[in-house]
Amino acid sequence: MCSTTCLLACFCCFLLAAFVAQIELMFERFEQINGTGIAECNVRVRKFNRTTASLLGNVTVKVELDNSFQGIMKLYHSPLGNNQFVWYPFKIGPMGVCDFTRNIWPDFYDHYVNYVKNLPEVGECPVRARTSIVRDFILDGKRAIRSIPEGLWKVQFWLTNDEESVVTEVYVKVYKDGYFLR
């Protein structure tokens, strides 16, 4: 599920992209805070070209994930991009992993399957232990709506059960459309 946790963190970034239009999005950083007993995320942000950053690496889920694992996503915004984050009143969760793979995952699976190998299938429950390989996952600003402001965003995803938690953070910079054409 660590793979699923990291994938869910990427999903959160994708959701952020889904709420912003006419913008450009760029990954800044990806971190796993804790929970290496459940999953291990060896994902990094790499410079793809002059104006684009992508995610590259692998996510290893060490245990089977079922509905006893609950996922929660929280957003934080830094308008000046100086890492002084304020909680943004948008969150998803808590939602069981099986509920996620049945209800939310079908809408996003087709996009992720192009960038991530060995993804959990739609409706898979429990999500079996696996290693997923992330290759040049790039955020698409065209999938976003206009209401989310520019600045640095921190998407925090928690995957937790009664015993342990995995916390991942993805930092995404939101720019106005055409920012890199100046």
Average pLDDT, the chain: 85
Please give the residue that has the higher pLDDT: either 36 or 90: 36
Mean pLDDT of 75-101: 91
Q: What is the per-residue pLDDT across 54-82, written as a single tens digit (0 to 9) for each?
A: 999 999 999 999 999 999 999 999 999 89
pLDDT of residue 101: 94
Tell me the domains of the chain and their CATH numbers.
Answer: 2-181 (2.70.220)
pLDDT for residue 122: 94
Type and span of the H or E element at 75:
strand 70-78
Express each pLDDT in 151-161 by its tens digit.
Answer: 999 999 999 99
Beta bridge partners of 160: 70, 165
- pTM for this prediction: 0.82
Asked if residue 42 has pLDDT above 80, the reply is yes
pLDDT at position 176, please?
A: 81
More confident residue, 96 or 19: 96
Higher pLDDT residue, 145 or 95?
Answer: 95
pLDDT(43) > 60: yes
Cβ burial of 89 (10 Å; 0-12, 13-18, 19+) is exposed
Please, which pLDDT band fits residue 21 given cuts at 50, 70 and 90? very low
Give one DSSP letter per residue of 80-124, joined into a string: TSSS--EEEEEEEEEEEHHHHHHHTHHHHHHHHTTTEESPPPTT-
